[in-house]
A = this chain, B = another copy of it.
Amino acid sequence: MAHGYEMLESPAVPSAGRTEHREPAITRQNVTPRAMDADEPWMRGLHADTGYLLYRLGLRSGQLFNTFLQESGLRLRHYAVLRFLATSEGALQRELSARLGYDPSAIVGLVDDLEKQGFAERRPAPDDRRSRIVVLTESGRAFLRDTDEAGQRVTGELVGPLDAAERESLHALLLKIAADGLN
């Protein structure tokens, strides 16, 4: 404990109302506006929860990434597929689904979009005619090359206030907790 998280939450409303106000309106008794014995553990700020922080920053990260990709007509999920294909030299859609955690039905649309943009291609699997193998096209590779730097800038912006050592430390920690759940 003993973190300086209080900085994130401001003390309610200053309410510098100068005007003399009227009737107190509601006077039900089930609400107690009194400042109850503070410092109870259950009333700590939101940012005291690592889980909530992760949730929050995850949203921000996704937003940043999406606005960065927006000009290319893709979204984060497409980018994830591309990046996955870049390391795997072709994958069954079923694999994409399992590894990236998206529903099989979602993969369909994603690969459709990537094919429309010419970044990926569906090929018939030689041994199983049910399956399709998705591979990067040359222009897909080019896209990854060209946007790589900008993508890293986005991440850089996200972890802005951290120095190099801290970034590495954070990355290692995240990797550690990402490793157990297959993700």
Chain A 1-15, CB-CB to B under 8 Å as 1, else 0, gives: 001111111111101
Interface contact A123-B177, CB-CB below 8 Å: no
Interface contact B50-A170, CB-CB below 8 Å: yes
Residues A31 and B177 in contact in the complex (CB < 8 Å), given A9-B87, A58-B58, A58-B62: no
Instruction: Report chain B residues within 8 Å CB of A105.
Output: none
Name which residue of chain B comes closest to A51, CB basis. B155
Q: Chain A interface residue count: which class?
A: 35 or more
Number of copies: 2
Task: Give complex CA distance A145, B12 in Å.
Answer: 18
| A47, CB-defined interface residue at 8 Å | yes
| A67, CB-defined interface residue at 8 Å | no
Name which residue of chain B comes closest to A17, CB basis. B127
Interface contact A42-B9, CB-CB below 8 Å: no
Q: Which of A60-107 contact B (CB under 8 A)?
A: 60-62, 64-65, 76, 80, 83-84, 86-92, 95, 99-101
Task: Give complex CA distance A57, B175 in Å.
Answer: 10
Q: Pick the contact of A60: B84, B155, B181 (CB < 8 A).
A: B181
Interface contact B99-A50, CB-CB below 8 Å: no
Chain A 162-179, CB-CB to B under 8 Å as 1, else 0, gives: 100011111111111111
Interface contact A170-B168, CB-CB below 8 Å: no
| A112, CB-defined interface residue at 8 Å | no
Task: Give complex CA distance A134, B169 in Å.
Answer: 40
**A181 vs chain B, min Cβ distance (A):** 6
- Measured CB to CB, the residues of A under 8 A from B are 3-13, 15, 17, 19, 21-22, 24-26, 28, 30-36, 40-47, 49-62, 64-65, 76, 80, 83-84, 86-92, 95, 99-101, 121, 123-124, 126-128, 135-139, 141, 144-145, 148, 151-152, 154-155, 158-162, 166-181, 183
